[in-house]
Amino acid sequence: MTLPQRVTLIDVCLRDGLQDESVFVPTQAKLQLLDALARAGVLEAEVTSFVHPKWIPPLADADALAARLPNLPPMRFWALVPNLRGYERSGNAPLFGITTVLSATDAHNQANLNCTSQESLRRLKPVIAAAKADGRSVRAAISVVFGCPFEGEVPLQRVVDLCEQLTAAGADELVLCDTIGVAHPRQVAEVIGQVRARLPEMPLTLHLHDARGFGLANMLAGLQEGITRFDTSLGGFGGCPYAPGAPGNLATERANTFLTAMGIATDIDQAAIEAAAVQAKSAVAAGEPIDTKA
């Protein structure tokens, strides 16, 4: 079995992990979680999303959080940016880069972004151009690559075409997302193989959810295909407000145990990341309930 010698785990708890919670975790608690991630050795983290607070109330403090981001080298910060207005809000925040997102199906894109996938692509092109002009890197995430809660099976050709279009638009990295946790190892290998056949030099990241206990198996399939970057989330927090029944993300602490057991370096201290996961669970448990009727 040929596996990478080193893997990067991008922790997305502060963004994807918290976005679907029914509580608001205070900004200070989020900053403390970020510090815990840094102390554990996590090198990259997605810290917030510049969406309208009405749509994602748990991330309503994006501007305040961005203004208080600490200097934690060599840690790199990412933030999800849905449109040009969101990019403008990211302002002078010390972000290494941004994450853009669109869906592989029109039904999920309509639920998530109120437009078709191609309309999203047109809207994202100036966002990507602005980020590149500012010297920021761009992660282009594609949701529901492996299955959609509305349309079911997703044609692989559609995924590959979107990958090519995002690459042409200037993305530096593609994030293939198993948004509802339906992927299996053979499918993971097939999708990566088809994308690589068309875009052999494009860096790929896997974003895995763990609905049926397939998360680590899918990670192994990705590793065998040469993937060295994975989105994970402290405590397995995460979901999608626009994907009914979406499970939590693959937990950072579980993924790290899995990788280190196979001799794959991550630079993450297992005891420290487990402590950070406990801290994340405590922060969510102590969060302020969100009034969804407001």
Q: Report H helices in the chain.
A: 27-40, 62-67, 84-90, 106-113, 117-133, 156-169, 185-198, 215-224, 252-261, 270-285
245 vs 294: CA distance, rounded Å: 24
Assess whether 240 carries a catalytic annotation: yes
**CB count in 10 Å sphere of residue 291:** 8
Residue 72, classed as helix, strand or coil, is: coil
In 3D space, the residue among 144, 155, 142, 223 whose CA is nearest the CA of residue 185 turns out to be 223
**CB count in 10 Å sphere of residue 226:** 12
Out of 13, 148, 163, 240, the active site residue is 240
- Under 8 Å CB-to-CB from 76, ≥6 apart: which residues? 43, 44, 45, 96, 97
Q: What is the dihedral of CA 44, 50, 56, 60, to 10 degrees?
A: 100
Active site residue ranges: 240
